[in-house]
Each structure stands twice: as structure tokens, then as C-alpha cells.
């Protein structure tokens, strides 16, 4: 078996339904003039929920692949949240450290990142894959990055 055959690439896909539900939570609080729960993470306009579906449970992290069509910055934060149909609120304590930050400068074709954080985060995904079939992420788009011009995937060795 060749090494390439045991490599898999998993794509982070936007969970538009969950993003919409979390935005409704923000609107609901605003309309009621209510405060969020202590420690509750409310989704900001430039944040979206993405998911990664693990096709296998035993994985070894290899690489991140992030494509930015335009200059900008993407911050990928994993969550320890197991979302259920009742959509329990996301709490700040459920956000995992470190986040992976990827950016593209105006005059640069290459994507930059903090490699140590990206490596640690990737290795953490492998640990979570052992007990999960799905993982959720909060992806923050800044400095000109938008969901429509970014593609993210993670490479693993099975």
C-alpha cells in the first residue's frame, strides 16, 4: 500500500443551519434586551460555524490546507461542543486553544500561519477524532476574508 493511499483530506464545510440558529440566538437576546448566560459565546457577524466529519477514528495529523482567493485572515477555533437538536448554547470554555490563524497579505501569493499552533491544533483533532464522528469550529473571517473566498481542509494519515 502506498503512503498516498493512506492519506485522507477532510474538508471543513459550513454548517449554515447551525450558524443561522446561533445568529437567531443573538437576535433573540437583542429583541428581548436580555443578557447572554455567563460565559456564553455569541456568534459575531464575521464568525461562522463549520464542521469536520471524520470518516475514520484513528488518524495522524499531516497538514492544513487553506486557500484564500483574496488577502485576509482566517482564525479557526475548535469547539468541544457536542451540538444536539436542542441547540445548547456555546460557552466560551468550550472553545479550544490554540486557534489556527492563516493569512494572506496583499502582495503575497503564499498563505502564512503560526506553524506551531497549527501543528498542535491538528494533533488535537486526531485525539478528538478517536471519540467523535463530527467536530465543530468557529471560523472568524477578518481583514477582507469572507466565507465565499476561503477553502479549508485537513490532511491525515489513516
Place of cell 460557552: 91
**Rounded to an integer, what distance in angstroms lies between the CA atom of residue 76 and that of residue 48?**
10
13-27, 57-71, 72-86: range with lowest mean pLDDT? 72-86
Whether residue 115 contacts residue 61, with contact meaning beta carbons closer than 8 Å, is answered with no
Please name each of the domains of the chain with its CATH number. Answer: 4-157 (2.60.120.390)
Task: Give the model confidence (pLDDT) of 58-68 as tens digits.
Answer: 999 999 999 99
- Region label for 89, one of left (φ > 0), alpha (ψ between -120 and 50) or beta (otherwise): beta
- List pLDDT tens digits, range 86-98: 557 888 999 998 9
| 11, 153 contact by CB (below 8 A) | yes
Amino acid at each position: 500500500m502506498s503512503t498516498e493511499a493512506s492519506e485522507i483530506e477532510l474538508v471543513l464545510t459550513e454548517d449554515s443551519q447551525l450558524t443561522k440558529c446561533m445568529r437567531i440566538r443573538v437576535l433573540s437576546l437583542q429583541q428581548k434586551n436580555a443578557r447572554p448566560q455567563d460565559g456564553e459565546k455569541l456568534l459575531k457577524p464575521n464568525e461562522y460555524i463549520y464542521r469536520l466529519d471524520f470518516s475514520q477514528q484513528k488518524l495522524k495529523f499531516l497538514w492544513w490546507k487553506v486557500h484564500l482567493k483574496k488577502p485576509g485572515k482566517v482564525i479557526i477555533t475548535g469547539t468541544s461542543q457536542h451540538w444536539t437538536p436542542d441547540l445548547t448554547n456555546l460557552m466560551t470554555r468550550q472553545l479550544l486553544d490554540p486557534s489556527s490563524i492563516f493569512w494572506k497579505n496583499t502582495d503575497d501569493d503564499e498563505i502564512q500561519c503560526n506553524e506551531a499552533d497549527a501543528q498542535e491544533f491538528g494533533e488535537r483533532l486526531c485525539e478528538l477524532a478517536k471519540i467523535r464522528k463530527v467536530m465543530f469550529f468557529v471560523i472568524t473571517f477578518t481583514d477582507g476574508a469572507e466565507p465565499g473566498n476561503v477553502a479549508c481542509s485537513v490532511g491525515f494519515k489513516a
